[in-house]
Structure 1
Amino acid sequence: MNQSPRVAPKSPSEALKPVAPPAPPPKARRRRRSPFIAMMSGLFTALLVLAGVVGAGIAVIGSQSKAPGPLASDRVLIIPKESGLTEISDLLLREGLIEHPWAFRVSALVTGNWTKLKAGEYLFKARASQQEILDIIAEGKAVEHSITVPEGLTSEQIIARLKDNDLLTGDVIQVPREGSILPDTYKFQRGSTRQAIVDRMTRDQRIALNAIWTKRPADLPIKTPQELVILASIVEKETGRADERPRVAGVFINRLNRKMKLQSDPTIVYGIVGGKGTLGRSIQRNEITQATPYNTYVIDGLPPGPIANPGRAAMEAVVNHSRTKELYFVADGSGGHAFAETLDQHNRNVGRWRQLEAGRREPGKPPSESSVDKVEPPPAPDTRTEAPGPQRANTDTDDVETFPTPGSRRAGAPVAQPGANVQAGVTGRARAFDASEGTPRDPLLNRSYDLNSPKQVPSLRP
C-alpha cells in the first residue's frame, strides 16, 4: 500500500514565516512594429486633424458666402472674355461686390464652379451674397437685351437696324432674301453676333410659314408658300390695322380670282427703289405706268417676289381672308377704310372721303396741290374692260406719304363721269367711267396730267 511522503514538522516560528511566491513565468518576446505602419498611422491622424480644420473652414466660408454682400444698390457688371477665377474675384472686389476675394475663390473651388465661370454682362441685386454672385456667373445668367423688327420692313432695312445696334458684334454674311425674315422682338445678350440674330429670324420665319401654309383653304389662288409671302407683304404695306388685314387680303384674292390687276401702290415704290424701301417723295405720274417687274399697275397677278417682310398676322390674313365680293377700298377718315363691291358704291365712298378732306381745310385757305380739282377734257376712247383696282396712298412708312396714326394706310380711287371734273385720287390717279362702254377706264393709261405740279402726283390725306 502506497503512503504519502511524510512532511517534516516545522517549528512554530518557522510556520509563521511567509512563504516566498513562486517565480513568474518567462515573458513572451515582444515583436517590433513596422515603420510603414507607424507612418500610415501618423498620416491618418494628421489627415483627421486636417479634415477637421478644413471642415471648420468650409463651414465658416459657407456661412460667410451666404451672408448679404456689401453692394448698396443694383449693379450691372461686365465680365471680360477669357477672365479666370483670380481676375474675376479681383474685379468683384474692386467694384465693391465682395469683401474677401480669397473666400470667393475657395467657394468656387469647393463647389466646382470655377470651371463654369462665363464672360458676359450681369445684373447683381443690392446686397447680393457671394454665393448668389458666384451662381449667376457660373450659370451664365447674363442680362438680356431686345431688338424689335417691325412688320413691313425690307431685308436691307432690317440689316441696317442690326448694324446700328452697338450691343451686337460681327457682320452679316449676306442680306437675306426679301420676305425670309419674321418680324418680331428678339432677345439677345451683349456680344451676340448679328449673324446669329439673322439666323434666328429666318428660322422662325420658316417655322411660322410652314405652320400657316398647312392651314390654307383648298380654293386659295396661291400655289406656293412663296406666293403666300408675296401677297402677305402687299397686305402688310396696305393696312396697319389688324381688323382690316383679312378684308384687304380678301380684296386682292377676289382680284386674283377675276384676273384683275392688283394695282397696289407699294409695289410701284418697291419696283423703283428695291430693297431700300424708301422713295423719299410722292410717286411721280410717269412712275405709275412705268414698267417694272413689281409694278402691279402694269403686270398681271403677283409680283416676282415679296416687297417687304410680312408679319405672322399678315400671312394668316391671306389664308383666312374675308369671304366677300369686295373689289375696292378707300380711306374713311378714321384710320381705316371703306370697302365696296361695286364701282357705284366705291364712288360714293370716295365722295364721302372728299367731303372729309374738304372739311379739314382752313376757312379762306385755297386748296393745296394735294386736294385741288382740275378740269380735264373727256378722256379718249379706251377699250379696257378691266375694273379699276383700289387706289391707295404711298404706304411706305418712310416715304413722304405719312399719316397721323402710326401704321394706318389710306386707299381710294375717285371716279368721275365723262365731262365732269376729273379729280386725283389718293395717289393722284384719276378715274373716269365710260358710260357708252359701261366699264370703268383709266385715263392715265392714255395721257398724263398733274394737279398744279408738273412733276409730282399729289396725294389726298387727312
Structure 2
Amino acid sequence: MWRNIASNALTFFVVIIFLGGGVLLWAQNEYSAQGPLEAPICLQVQRGSNFTRVSDDLEERGAISSGVIFRLGADYREKASLLKAGSYLVPENASMTEITDIVTRGGASTCGTEVVYRIGVNSALVQVRELDTGAGRYEEVLEFDPAEPYPGEYAAFRDEVGTRFRVALAEGVTSWQVVNELGQVDILEGEVEEPPAEGALAPNSYEIVPGDTREALIDRMEEAQELILAEAWSNRADDLPYADPQEALTMASIVEKETGNAEERFLVASVFVNRIERSMRLQTDPTVIYGITNGEGVLGRGIRQSELRAETPYNTYVIDGLPPTPIANPGRLAIEAALNPADSDYVYFVAKTLNPSDGHNFAATLDEHNSNVAAYRRLEAERANQ
C-alpha cells in the first residue's frame, strides 16, 4: 500500500513539475511574442512610478496581454528597478521584452512634448510641439517670440514629465546673436563670461535639460565646430589660398552669408577663391554689413555708398584678401565648400531672380556678368512697376 501511495505521490509531483514547466515556457513565449498593440502610443512614466503602475497603464491601453507576466519578466531580467521617468513611444505590436527595454534604457524621451528654442539669422522663436503618434510627426501647439513675456500655458508644457528641450542654431547666425538668445532660454542657468569668437560655434540642434548652464552649451558648440573644421581641413583640396584653418573658416562664413542654396555653395566658394588667386578684391556685401553691425543684429536697410567707400577691416571693396575674422558661424557644408571649392573659372555672380532661394547666375567674364546684372535689374524694374 505504501508503495502505491509513494508511486502516486511521485506521479503527482512529476505532473506538477511538468505543468509548471509548461506554464513557465508559455509565459516566456508570451513575454517575448509580438504584442497586441494596434497603433503606436505615447507612454508617460511619472517620476516615482513603478512597474505595477506602468503595467496597469499598458494593460488598460491594450499594449500588453498580461500585467503579471510583464512584471515577472522584468523581475526575471533584473530590470524592475531600472525604470526611468519620461515619455516613450511604444510602437505597434511591441513585445513585452521590447517595452521593458524602452522604459528602462533611459536617455531622451521619444515622444510627448518637445520645446525647441530656435536661434535664426533674422529672428528667434520658441516652438512647443507634440508627437502625433498616428502620423509619426510632431505637431506645433504653441509658438512665441522669446523676447516677449512667455505665455502662461508654456509653463505647463515645460514642467510636464518627459518634455524634451532643444536649442536649434541656424547656419549663419553670429556669436552675439547666440549669446543674446541663450539669455532668453528660461531653463538654462548662469551667464556667458566671455562671448565666443565669431565662427567658433557649430550650427546644429543641441539637446538640453533644465539646469544646464549656458557656458557648458557654448562649450559643446565650440567643440563641435573644432571637430568639423579639423576634419574638413585634413581633407582639403591642394593649393588653396589659406594660411591656416582660421582663414578657411572666414571664407566659409562669407560663403554661408552669400547663399542659402546648399547646391551652389561650392560654386560660390570657387568664385571667391578665384578672385583671391587673381588678386581681385572679394567685394562682398555681407562683410561690409558685419563691419557696420559688428554682428549685433540685422542691419535692416541697404548699404550706403559712404559705407562701401569707408576703409574698415571688413570692407572687402577696399581691403585686399579676407577680413580679419569670420563674419558668422558657418555650417558644415559651407566649411567643406571653402576647403573643396568647385573647379570653375567663375569670378562673378548675381541673383537669378528676386527670390534669394532661386540661386545665382555665375559668369567668368565681366561682359557675361554685366548681362546677368542687366537681367536682374529688369526684374527689379518690373516689380517696381506692378
* Normalised-by-shorter TM-score class: 0.5 to 0.7
1:238 lines up with 2:258 in the alignment = yes
Q: Distance in 1 between matches of 2:362 and 2:49?
A: 63
Residue 293 of structure 1 contacts residue 304 of structure 1 at CA under 8 Å; is this kept in 2?
yes
Residue 189 of structure 2 contacts residue 211 of structure 2 at CA under 8 Å; is this kept in 1?
no
User: Any gaps of 5 or more consecutive residues in structure 2?
Assistant: 1-12, 115-165
User: Any gaps of 5 or more consecutive residues in structure 1?
Assistant: 1-46, 366-462
> 1:219 — aligned with what?
239
* Aligned-pair CA distance for 1:270: 2.1
1:253 lines up with 2:219 in the alignment = no
1:205 lines up with 2:225 in the alignment = yes
C-alpha spacing 1:160/1:98, structure 2 compared with 1 (3 Å) = farther
Q: Distance in 1 between matches of 2:176 and 2:60?
A: 44
Residue 121 of structure 1 contacts residue 190 of structure 1 at CA under 8 Å; is this kept in 2?
no
* Aligned-pair CA distance for 1:233: 0.6
> 2:381 — aligned with what?
358
* Aligned-pair CA distance for 1:213: 1.2
Residue 46 of structure 2 contacts residue 85 of structure 2 at CA under 8 Å; is this kept in 1?
yes
Residue 347 of structure 2 contacts residue 363 of structure 2 at CA under 8 Å; is this kept in 1?
yes
C-alpha spacing 1:241/1:127, structure 2 compared with 1 (3 Å) = closer
* Aligned-pair CA distance for 1:97: 4.5
C-alpha spacing 1:353/1:260, structure 2 compared with 1 (3 Å) = same
**Within-5 A mapping of 1:155-304:** 155-157=175-177, 170-171=188-189, 174=192, 176-184=196-204, 186=205, 201-290=221-310, 292-304=312-324
| CA displacement 1:27-69 (0-9 Å, x = unmatched) | xxxxxxxxxxxxxxxxxxxx99998897566445435535666
> 1:451 — aligned with what?
none
Between structures 1 and 2, the one with greater strand share: 2
> 1:20 — aligned with what?
none
Q: Distance in 2 between matches of 1:58 and 1:173?
A: 58
| CA displacement 1:197-236 (0-9 Å, x = unmatched) | 7655444432321222123345322111111011111011
Amino acid at match of 2:84: K
Q: Distance in 1 between matches of 2:17 and 2:332?
A: 63
> 2:101 — aligned with what?
135
* Aligned-pair CA distance for 1:135: 2.4
1:313 lines up with 2:333 in the alignment = yes
Amino acid at match of 1:241: N
Residue 167 of structure 2 contacts residue 208 of structure 2 at CA under 8 Å; is this kept in 1?
no
Q: Distance in 1 between matches of 2:378 and 2:53?
A: 73
* Aligned-pair CA distance for 1:264: 1.8
Q: Distance in 1 between matches of 2:29 and 2:184?
A: 47
Amino acid at match of 2:232: I
C-alpha spacing 1:100/1:245, structure 2 compared with 1 (3 Å) = closer
Q: Distance in 1 between matches of 2:201 and 2:381?
A: 41
SS at match of 1:244: helix
* Aligned-pair CA distance for 1:330: 2.8
Q: Distance in 1 between matches of 2:29 and 2:176?
A: 55
> 1:105 — aligned with what?
71
**Within-5 A mapping of 1:308-457:** 308-322=328-342, 326-333=346-353, 335-341=358-364, 343-362=366-385
Q: Distance in 2 between matches of 1:176 and 1:129?
A: 48
Amino acid at match of 1:130: M
C-alpha spacing 1:82/1:326, structure 2 compared with 1 (3 Å) = same
1:151 lines up with 2:151 in the alignment = no
**Within-5 A mapping of 1:20-31:** none
* Aligned-pair CA distance for 1:90: 5.4
**Within-5 A mapping of 1:1-16:** none
Amino acid at match of 2:265: R
Residue 151 of structure 1 contacts residue 236 of structure 1 at CA under 8 Å; is this kept in 2?
yes
Residue 270 of structure 1 contacts residue 294 of structure 1 at CA under 8 Å; is this kept in 2?
yes
* Aligned-pair CA distance for 1:261: 3.6
SS at match of 1:358: helix
Residue 270 of structure 1 contacts residue 277 of structure 1 at CA under 8 Å; is this kept in 2?
no
Residue 153 of structure 1 contacts residue 277 of structure 1 at CA under 8 Å; is this kept in 2?
no
TM-score (norm 1): 0.54
C-alpha spacing 1:104/1:230, structure 2 compared with 1 (3 Å) = same
1:76 lines up with 2:42 in the alignment = yes
Q: Distance in 2 between matches of 1:108 and 1:158?
A: 45
| CA displacement 1:354-376 (0-9 Å, x = unmatched) | 334334443xx6xxxxxxxxxxx
C-alpha spacing 1:119/1:351, structure 2 compared with 1 (3 Å) = same
Asked which structure has the greater CA Rg, the reply is: 1
Residue 199 of structure 2 contacts residue 327 of structure 2 at CA under 8 Å; is this kept in 1?
yes
Q: Distance in 2 between matches of 1:170 and 1:94?
A: 38
TM-score (norm 2): 0.63
SS at match of 1:267: helix
Amino acid at match of 2:376: W
Moved more, 263-272 or 229-238: 263-272
Percentage of matched positions with identical amino acids: 43
Q: Distance in 2 between matches of 1:205 and 1:293?
A: 24
Q: Distance in 1 between matches of 2:27 and 2:213?
A: 42
SS at match of 1:330: strand
Q: Distance in 2 between matches of 1:346 and 1:114?
A: 70
Q: Distance in 1 between matches of 2:375 and 2:196?
A: 43
Q: Distance in 2 between matches of 1:70 and 1:160?
A: 50
Residue 270 of structure 1 contacts residue 307 of structure 1 at CA under 8 Å; is this kept in 2?
yes
Q: Distance in 2 between matches of 1:203 and 1:320?
A: 22
C-alpha spacing 1:86/1:132, structure 2 compared with 1 (3 Å) = same
> 2:162 — aligned with what?
none
C-alpha spacing 1:79/1:190, structure 2 compared with 1 (3 Å) = farther
Q: How many residues align?
A: 314
Could you list the structure 1 runs, at least 4 aligned residues long, displaced by more than 6 angstroms after superposition.
47-54, 144-147, 159-166, 189-192, 194-197
Residue 163 of structure 1 contacts residue 194 of structure 1 at CA under 8 Å; is this kept in 2?
no
Amino acid at match of 1:354: R
| CA displacement 1:264-315 (0-9 Å, x = unmatched) | 2112222233344422333344443455543334544322221112222222
C-alpha spacing 1:106/1:356, structure 2 compared with 1 (3 Å) = closer
* Aligned-pair CA distance for 1:111: 1.4
